[in-house]
Amino acid sequence: MAVSLLSHEVSDLCLGKPSLRSLSVSATIGDALTALKRSGENSLSVWNCVCSRRRSDNGNVDSILGECKEFCECVGKICMVDVVCFLGKEENLKNPISALQSPISVLISNDSPGLVRHLRPHTRVWEAIAVILDGAQNLVIPLKSRNSTRRKLVHNNSINSSTVHNNREYCWLTVEDIIRYLLNSIGLFSPISVQPINALNLIDTENVLSIHYHDPASSILPLIHKSLINQTSVAIIDEDGKILGEISTFVLNYCDESVAAAIATLSAGDLMAFIDCGGPPEDLIQLVKERLEERNLKAALELMEEDSSGMSSSSSAYNSSSDEECSPGSGKIGRSGGYSSRVGRRSEAIVCYPWSSLVAVMIQALSHRVSYVWVVEEDGSLAGIVTFAGMLKVFQESLKAMS
């Protein structure tokens, strides 16, 4: 039964998914920042389009009369975290205007090639799992043909025209989509679904990204970049190794680019408070500005001043909700003021225990829209992390045993 489930096509998992909004690989980082703010999307796909011309009868390319056939390929994915990490570098804080004129290609990671992969719609789910376990983070799947009226609207609307490539629309298929798909039929994977994660060797102790509470937040930049690739997070721990919270790429994705200045000037613990779902408190905003002045980072200070009024409003939201869990809609302003109303949780880490069951951890992660859960001991000390990729390996091994 489980083998039959995973023989379904990936197109089955794409029903109802929105089409990808995109940027050209020739765009600048400033273009990407503007597009992210205007679209309200968490991320944008990056496409490289090349034109091949029809050859004449004698075999030569007719550059004047030859018909140009455009072929486009998705080569990457850009989000606000990419922009923040780039602007947070010392050299870019000194001249953020120049940094924003850099080509978007510098944000496409070379650390882990193949993060984005194209798959055909009839690819089997088990094949998609193998591609993800091979290192892919996002799968690009062609959407089934829409009706002619829909396609006409897509082509005629200048806002949506960037969703069409190779005369088709595409969507992301992520590891979260596959885990959710598996959870819907979790009974087929009994008894592993109810076994504790430590018995399944699911606790990863080697790829744990962490930083101490009082460490400078600037030292977290390479960890944030790595956590974005690994689809995890950076744990904030105390001197005893107990987890106090996290710097989540999920939360950072809803922040404004001015957070780069906070990363450069605050401690890791203060950064947690700065990016919390209600927005930064006024005293931290002032502290960031003072430290920018001390380091003579005038351009970065101007970036902060541009959003000063928005952050003040955000600060009020933070103070009014500091004693209760934030819920969707609790934020007061959108990205132009620093924080989105869609942020639904604080910087508290999502944790489980070594004896938690696989299905319980799956539900916990999906309900919080994260692809990992921290594992802690009874005393709160950090023991490791469980990821969706690790879960997929368990399901893959289970399928091999069944077949």
Tell me what pLDDT residue 348 has: 83
Tell me what pLDDT residue 339 has: 38
Q: Name the nearest CA neighbour of 105 among 130, 81, 75, 64.
A: 75
3-state secondary structure of 176: helix
Tell me what pLDDT residue 256 has: 85
Segments in the chain below pLDDT 70: 1-2, 52-68, 109-113, 145-161, 277-278, 307-346, 403
d(CA 244, CA 263) in angstroms, rounded, equals 18
Cα 86 versus chain centre, distance:
15
Q: Is 248 exposed, middle or buried (0-12, 13-18, 19+ CB in 10 A)?
A: buried
Tell me what pLDDT residue 124 has: 94
Tell me what pLDDT residue 100 has: 94
**β-strand 138-142 against 210-212: which pairing, if any?**
unpaired
DSSP string covering 302-341? HHHHHTHHHHHHHHHHHHHTTTS---TT---S-GGGTB-T
pTM of this prediction exceeds 0.85:
no
DSSP string covering 178-225? HHHHHHTTGGGGTTGGGSBTTTTT--BSSS--EEETTSBGGGGHHHHH
Sheet holding 168-174, edge to edge: 116-118, 138-142, 168-174, 164-165
d(CA 314, CA 67) in angstroms, rounded, equals 53
CA dihedral sign of residues 70, 45, 302, 312: positive
Tell me what pLDDT residue 111 has: 58
pLDDT tens, residue by residue, 214-235 = 999 999 999 999 999 999 999 9
CA dihedral sign of residues 92, 96, 100, 101: negative
Contact status, residue 268 vs residue 220, Cβ threshold 8 Å: yes
